[in-house]
Structure 1
Amino acid sequence: MLSNQTDTEIFQALRSGNLLALGILYERYGEVVYRVALRMLGNAQEAEDLTQEVFLYLWGGGTYDSKRGSMLVFLTTLTRSKAIDRHRQIRAQWQRIQRWFHSFPPESGSTLMEKVALKEISCRVREALAELPANQQQVLEMAYYDGLSQSEISEKLNMPIGTVKTYKRKGLLKLREILQDLVE
């Protein structure tokens, strides 16, 4: 019976096309992968998506070498790596938005249409910020309007830096969702 076999044997069965092997690995490690993803991303939906991505990677030809460590270590390392990649993507998208805003010439030389477009975009961003919870909104405004670092925000708000990072990350994720048409 496949479920009584070692992780390496089950992985080999998966490589041979046995889809039941993927289900067994998911039963064994799905919860751990989800918890690591949730801890790193701070968002249940993102954690679910990442969990699915990790197991799809295994199914789609991901490589696992039992000589380099256990399946548990492999999957948690893979999850951590993919979560870091997602953070980088979010940061890069936010930087693109900022560059886009800064690419507009100063208002004094702008045409009427450019001024109207910039004002409209600015209003949309402000409306999107207003949809965020107050703590996320405050942290993002301090970071991006006031130019404060996370440690400076932590000091000014008298809150742990981890909390500041969480508020910032969750706020950026929500903004990305709300302003998706501007980001893409």
Structure 2
Amino acid sequence: MEVVSGDADRSTSAEPADEVLVSRVCDGDTAALEALYSRYARVVYSFAARIVGDGSTAEEILQEAFVRTWRQAETYRTGRGSFASWLLSITHNLAIDELRRRQRRPQRFDGADVHEVMDGLVDDAASVEEAAEAALLRERVGRAMASLPDAQRVAIEYAFYHSMSQREIAAHLGEPLGTIKTRLRLGMRKLKDALADEEIIGGR
């Protein structure tokens, strides 16, 4: 699989839904896995690259994420969120594991200034700590997202996970632009309230 073949563009209505493809993957259909890869490779790669800051490592994470999709497809549950969310959760965990491995990796001085090396270690530690906090935040956001009506949740996922514009979401879902704007506005309002209940923002 090559990243360049990945296509984050929205699928046409004639293409199978993610859930259908996942079901086929569970039955050992490699073509279904390829279809999911084509649909989400760019998204997964970009997401991983933002976390690890390294294109080569992001490529490795991309490949491993789809290996796990192949092996663990039966663990996906539609009631807990979209396939995109499930896949990005796997990607996130792989990226965080990589950051932790970097922190444990022995440092080679090679004449480097000891202060620079120590500063780097502190920065790495801070990054891992922040990543751990981000993982916890992601879990809470996931619970909040799950509390939204399906139509609002899907619109928000396309907007934030796929970086799709409101017009692109409307075209992809076959809905009027005004409807998508309303779903996003109401969904974000409900999400804010749910996150407040989780004590992420405006905690009581």
Q: Give the shorter-chain TM-score range.
A: 0.5 to 0.7
1:126 alignment partner, one of 98, 109, 131: 109
The residue number in structure 1 matching 2:102 is 90
Q: Which amino acid aligns with 1:7?
A: D
Deviation at 1:139, TM superposition (A): 4.0
In structure 2, the residue matched to 1:121 is none
Distance 2:111 2:79 in 1: 49
Q: Structure 1 residue runs of 4+, over 6 Å off?
A: none
Any idea what the Cα deviations from partners look like across 1:138-168, whole Å, max 9, x if unmatched?
7425355xxxx44xxxxxxxxxx98xx9xxx
The aligned counterpart of 1:60 is: 71
The alignment yields a C-alpha RMSD, in angstroms, of 2.7
Q: CA deviation at 1:126?
A: 3.4
CA shift, 1:93, in A, is 2.4
What SS is found at the alignment partner of 2:59? Answer: helix
Seen in structure 2, the aligned counterparts of structure 1 residues 28 and 140 have a Cα distance that, compared at 3 Å, is same
Match of 1:38 among 28, 33, 49: 49
Residue identity (%) = 28
Offset of 1:90 from its aligned partner? 1.6
- Report how far residue 74 of structure 1 moved: 1.1
Correspondence 1:21 to 2:26: no
Q: Given residue 105 of structure 2, which amino acid in structure 1 is its aligned partner? A: Q
* Residue equivalent to 2:117: 140
Q: Deviations over 1:35-77 (max 9, x none)?
A: 0100001001000000000000011234211111111111112
Alpha-carbon distance in structure 2 between the residues aligned to 1:34 and 1:128: 35
Between Structure 1 and Structure 2, the one with more helix by share is: 1
Q: Distance in 2 between matches of 1:58 and 1:81?
A: 13
Larger radius of gyration: 1
1:76 aligned partner: 88
Change (3 A) 1:129 1:30: farther
TM score, norm. by length of structure 2: 0.48
User: TM-score under structure 1 normalisation?
Assistant: 0.53
User: Structure 2: any 5+ residue segments left out of the alignment?
Assistant: 1-13, 131-204
Show structure 1 runs of 5+ residues with no match.
98-124, 131-136, 151-160, 166-184
Instruction: Count how many residue pairs are aligned between Structure 1 and Structure 2.
Output: 112
- Structure 2 counterpart of 1:82, one-letter code: L
